[in-house]
């Protein structure tokens, strides 16, 4: 697509935008990098406010954007730093709940109202008193935002219930993971090498990706592994991710003799998926657009996923869906697919068709830019 220059309301200078990012979510961080690159290519001036470690990982300045370090904290110093950056902005776009709350604080009390766009990538989860705090933050952000873009229909509905004045569906594309823009090695050659390293040369390889936390449903995954460990050969499950449940999960794996490897954080997830026979997503909740689900379908890897949140809307009929928390259902689905190459081929074909319906990075940038133009164009005098 030929770059299109977007100008300020008076048509005298490029549109000046500030992207506010907390830096804790890989999906939103990759989206901001993709968005920054697309906006800069269209003549928009972009400043990304994010922690320095996010800049180190995602290289926002490499897109032509400016990066300003703003800590994840919402303390007065961080808010003041953000307020200074936003002073000359035509529009502010915040990603994620906490980054959006900081943007609301930074823009509060200004005589000139700066449009605030919020992209709601996922819904923050907590229990007890913290849950009440999160819901209060959500209400504050939703009511203050000029436009809320929810990445799934469920998030759009949630934004409206929480008080958003203007909530719209804004699905985001699946950006390339940092460091994987171009693979120098042949994937077909990498596959047997990686499987050998993992210990899955002559056995099925199942891959799950995500932090080791309760909502990921890895306890259900281990329960299911007790069933398919009786297969000959027993599939190996590789879990790429780190988190607070590592010791508990590792204890179960060792005490029950489960064919599961906790591989920790990996920077080669696309390669892991390319080497896998099946991808697994046993989550208890998944309100956003699952990165793993998208990567699996793009990689033509059959997916078995829990039927929760935005998953059914995202994958359609291109995945084997099971009830969340149902270890027996998960085990049966895996065993059935491993024994049925025709079904696996069918899922691969449907996955290609489903992935073709998702927005590209170019289409995502174009939609966001149309919102920017709508909010910054001068109102005609009647």
Radius of gyration of the chain (CA): 22
Other CB atoms closer than 10 Å to residue 379's CB: what's the count? 6
The position carrying tokens 């007065």 is 76
- Predicted TM-score (pTM) of the model is 0.86
- Please tell me whether the peptide bond between 233 and the residue prior to it is cis, using omega within 30 degrees of 0: yes
What pLDDT score does 10 carry?
45
- How many other β-carbons are positioned within 10 Å of the β-carbon of residue 322? 23
Q: Within a 13 Å sphere around the CA of 134, how many CA atoms are in the beta-carbon half?
A: 12
172 and 359 Cβ atoms separated by less than 8 Å: yes
Beta-bridged to residue 49, according to DSSP, are 20, 68
**Which pLDDT does position 6 carry in this prediction?**
55
CA angle 179/185/187 to nearest 5° reads 95
CA distances from 219 to 284, 310, 312 (A): 10, 21, 22
**Inter-residue contact 295 to 314 (CB < 8 Å):** no
- What phi and psi values does residue 381 have, to the nearest 5 degrees? -80, 135
CA–CA distance, 306 with 328 (Å, rounded to integer): 12
Q: Report the distance separating Cα 352 and Cα 75, nearest Å.
A: 46
Q: Which pLDDT score, from 0 to 100, does residue 337 have?
A: 97
pLDDT-flagged residues of the chain (< 50): 1-3, 5, 8-10, 181-185
Q: Give alpha helix (H) positions in 257-356.
A: 269-275, 291-298, 311-315, 327-338, 341-355
Output the pLDDT for position 128.
81
- At residue 189, the pLDDT reads 59
Nearest 5°: the CA angle 31, 34, 39 is 120
């Amino acid at each position: 697509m030929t770059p299109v220059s977007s100008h300020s309301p008076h048509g005298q200078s490029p549109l000046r935008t500030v992207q506010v990012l907390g830096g804790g979510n890989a999906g939103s961080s990759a989206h901001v990098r993709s968005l920054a690159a697309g906006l800069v290519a269209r003549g928009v001036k972009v400043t990304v406010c994010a922690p320095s470690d996010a800049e180190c990982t995602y290289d926002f300045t490499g897109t032509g954007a400016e990066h300003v370090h703003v800590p994840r904290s919402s303390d007065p110093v961080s808010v003041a730093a953000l307020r200074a950056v936003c002073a000359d902005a035509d529009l502010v776009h915040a990603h994620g709940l906490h980054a959006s709350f900081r943007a609301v604080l930074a823009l509060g009390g200004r005589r000139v109202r700066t449009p605030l766009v919020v992209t709601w990538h996922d819904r923050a989860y907590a229990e007890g008193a913290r849950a009440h705090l999160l819901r209060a933050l959500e209400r504050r952000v939703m009511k203050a935002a000029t436009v809320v873009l929810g990445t799934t229909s469920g998030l759009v509905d949630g934004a409206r219930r929480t008080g958003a004045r203007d909530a719209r569906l804004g699905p985001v594309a699946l950006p390339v993971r940092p460091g994987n823009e171009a693979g120098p090695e042949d994937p077909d050659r990498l596959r047997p090498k990686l499987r050998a390293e993992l210990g899955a040369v002559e056995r099925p390889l199942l891959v799950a990706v995500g932090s080791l936390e309760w909502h990921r449903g890895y306890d259900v995954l281990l329960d299911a592994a007790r069933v398919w460990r009786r297969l000959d050969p027993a599939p190996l499950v590789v879990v790429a991710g780190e988190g607070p449940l590592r010791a508990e999960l590792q204890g179960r794996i060792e005490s029950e003799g489960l064919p599961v490897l906790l591989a920790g954080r990996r920077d080669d997830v696309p390669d892991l998926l390319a080497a896998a026979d099946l991808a697994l997503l046993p989550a208890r909740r998944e309100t956003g657009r699952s990165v793993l689900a998208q990567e699996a379908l793009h990689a033509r890897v059959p997916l078995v996923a829990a039927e929760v949140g935005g998953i059914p809307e995202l994958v359609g009929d291109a995945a084997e869906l099971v009830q969340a928390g149902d270890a027996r259902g998960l085990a049966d689905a895996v065993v059935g697919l491993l024994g049925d190459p025709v079904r696996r081929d069918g899922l691969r074909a449907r996955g290609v068709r489903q992935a073709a319906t998702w927005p590209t990075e170019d289409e995502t940038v174009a939609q966001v830019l149309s919102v920017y133009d709508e909010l910054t164009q001068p109102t005609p005098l009647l």
